[in-house]
Structure 1
Amino acid sequence: MTGLPALLDGILVVCLVLLGLSALLVVVRLLRGPSGLDRLVALDVLVAEFLVGLVVYAALTGTSALVPVVVAISLVGFLGSTTVARFVRRGTDR
């Protein structure tokens, strides 16, 4: 069972690479649009990918020091997206 930690490390590195590629595609969507809501969804996905990347990095290094950072960023991201959604909804009600 000595190969199992190395295999798990390899899987985590592959996860980080795939998250990076996905983040590049999301940045393209963020820049191209076509609407503000598309950009908002892309920004939410980018924040979620950043959080998942931090968790995968914490699992790879074996540290739990990033957990408060992940919680704080997720709360800020949630509050930001709900605030923008509320303003967009107000604009469509008129």
Structure 2
Amino acid sequence: MAFQSESDAKSYWKENISLVVKLMVVWFAVSFGCGILLFDVLNNISLGGYKLGFWFAQQGAIYTFVILTFVYAKLMGNLDRKYGVDDE
């Protein structure tokens, strides 16, 4: 992986870390926020016969993690192409 300049490398890593932080905030909000902090409030709503708080605690965080993995891969591919460090 070779960058055109030092400033490109710094910009790339700045955008990379920013993306990771944003995705981790989403995951934290879903797993900790919806699965623990808002558990009782969300249990007043049903999803497929299950209480929503229970669903987030048991399944929602996992589904969110899988979706965020694909989102990260897509956005990092775009970032790699933007800075010319992709594999192609």
Q: Report the TM-score, using the length of structure 2 for normalisation.
A: 0.46
Q: Report the TM-score, using the length of structure 1 for normalisation.
A: 0.44
**Structure whose alpha-carbon radius of gyration is higher:** 2
More helix by share: 1
More strand by share: 2
Higher RCO, Cα 8 Å, sep 6+:
2
